[in-house]
Chains A and B, each alone.
Chain A
Amino acid sequence: MPTSRTGTRPSRPNRKAGKAARQLTGKPGMSTNLKVTLSVLGAALAVLLLVVAVNLTEPKPPAGAADVVREDSHRLSTAADGKVTIVEFLDFECEACGAAYPGVERLRAEYGDRITYVVRYFPIAGHPNAFNAAHAAEAAARQGKFEQMYVKLFDNQAAWGHTEESRAPVFEGYAAELGLDMAKFRADVTSTEVAERVKSDAADGTALGVQGTPTFFVNGEKFTDRPSYEALKAAVDKGLSE
């Protein structure tokens, strides 16, 4: 091999020399990189454990503190005999809730005051206008028009749902159509009380194990079937016949 060729590729690492250099300078055992990386990972795990430990030692509300229905829950209808109570945790922007809505309305029309029908808020952060819609419904509730706003929101879900921008102006329009006192509505819709009211429903839902919407409870029991009209009707009939 001509000696001139060795000089043509100066950038090529000389493995033997490199190995020798490592042996001279490198310390035995773990490399610095591994040590530092493991230390950082260890520190992160320690922080995580600390957070979990602090959280676990904090006093928690006693089990059963969350009620399926509370005094202030919105009832669309109230049965005198109190035999059947359906509770729906819903998000006005959730498509599955919109899909269940016609069946629910059919059921409500059919049974009227023979069943207690309760709607509770469970807005999901993934829906950009879920909270705005819940706040609009709650603001309407403060003027005795919860049911009307609930109907408006679901009837028009396709028109306002699944857009990034705030649909609060659309909801104001619905409020105006319902003949609400607009000054009061505007004040309520942005108030912390209304926001807290929505949150407290959702907190109950979370404590009850609600993970998605709609989640129904029939007489306090979580309804696990698909909430079709037929399935809900069967549950209602069963409750009424008992």
Chain B
Amino acid sequence: MTHDGTARPVITDRLIGWILTVGGPAGALAAFVLAVEKVALLKDPTYTPSCSINPILSCGSIMTTAQAEVFGFPNPLIGLAAFPVVAATGAAVLAGARLPRWWWLSLQAGALLGVVFVHWLFVQSLYRIGALCPYCMVVWVVMILIFSYLTLHNAERGHLPAPRRVTGALLAVHSTVPLLWLLILTGLIGVRFWDYWSTLL
């Protein structure tokens, strides 16, 4: 009932529109704060970023690493440029615009790159650097939400070729997809920093 276009889709225009409209600015804001903190840190190396709360939740120890500038410039600049595109797409959809397939596929490609990058950073953060940065984690969550819903949306509307049965099954439980995903990451964080969390109990 969802594939032939005669019934209302599960991921309605309203739903995907709102997710992009809220997720885009949230990601952009986190990237903006990180960029501002980076500048402050460059001006004064002894500056303690607002999100350096304790040895584990510490932006300072993350922002000074090589991984924070993978492409030779601070990573947040990518988010600062890319998230507004997501926001604008969401707003356009909410306003009733019907975007062409190439638009959705371009956004999908961007989201794929973003979500892959975020997971690389996740691995680096947990297993190489050994600290977490709260604003970066906002970006991880936003990226996973956007990617999940964008992919489901594009599969449902036929922009992306996808097996119907799998798509149908995932659509039936759509919000479980990002939830399970995030729970797995939360579990990994819990295990990795168990020594620290257990001291808080």
B6 touches A37 (CB 8 A): no
User: CB-CB < 8 A to A211: which residues of B?
Assistant: 54-55
Quote the shortest CB–CB distance from B39 to chain A (angstroms).
18
Question: Within 8 Å of chain B (Cβ to Cβ): is A32?
Answer: yes
| B179 touches which of A40, A55, A56 (Cβ 8 Å) | A40
| B7 touches which of A22, A32, A125 (Cβ 8 Å) | A22
- Name B8's closest neighbour in chain A (CB-CB): A18
Interface residues on A, range: 35 or more
| A11 touches which of B5, B8, B45 (Cβ 8 Å) | B5
With A18-B6, A127-B61 as contacts: A56 and B201 at CB distance below 8 Å = yes
Contacts of A1-51 to chain B: CB distance below 8 A = 10-15, 17-19, 21-22, 25, 32-34, 36-37, 40-41, 44, 51
Quote the shortest CB–CB distance from A30 to chain B (angstroms).
12
Question: Within 8 Å of chain B (Cβ to Cβ): is A124?
Answer: yes
How distant is the Cα of A94 from the Cα of B107 in the complex, in angstroms?
41
B65 touches A55 (CB 8 A): no
Q: Which of B115-123, B141-149, B170-178 contacts A (4 or more CB under 8 A)?
A: B170-178
B5 touches A12 (CB 8 A): yes
Query: Main SS of chain B's interface residues?
Result: loop
Question: Within 8 Å of chain B (Cβ to Cβ): is A164?
Answer: yes
User: CB-CB < 8 A to B173: which residues of A?
Assistant: 32-33, 36-37
A21 touches B1 (CB 8 A): yes
| B172 touches which of A19, A33, A52, A95 (Cβ 8 Å) | A33
A33 touches B175 (CB 8 A): yes
A37 touches B176 (CB 8 A): yes
A32 touches B46 (CB 8 A): no
Question: Within 8 Å of chain B (Cβ to Cβ): is A234?
Answer: no
With A33-B172, A36-B173, A37-B176 as contacts: A13 and B5 at CB distance below 8 Å = yes
User: CB-CB < 8 A to B5: which residues of A?
Assistant: 10-13
Interface string of A103-134 (1 = CB under 8 A from B): 00000000000000000000011111000000
Quote the shortest CB–CB distance from B61 to chain A (angstroms).
3
Question: Within 8 Å of chain A (Cβ to Cβ): is B64?
Answer: yes
Question: Within 8 Å of chain A (Cβ to Cβ): is B162?
Answer: no
Quote the shortest CB–CB distance from A129 to chain B (angstroms).
12
- Name B98's closest neighbour in chain A (CB-CB): A12
With A41-B179, A212-B54 as contacts: A162 and B7 at CB distance below 8 Å = no
How distant is the Cα of A44 from the Cα of B129 in the complex, in angstroms?
27
Quote the shortest CB–CB distance from A56 to chain B (angstroms).
6
How distant is the Cα of A163 from the Cα of B45 in the complex, in angstroms?
16
B6 touches A14 (CB 8 A): yes
- Name A35's closest neighbour in chain B (CB-CB): B173
User: CB-CB < 8 A to B54: which residues of A?
Assistant: 211-212
10 A-B pairs with least C-beta separation: A125-B130, A126-B61, A18-B8, A126-B131, A18-B7, A36-B173, A37-B175, A11-B5, A124-B55, A21-B7
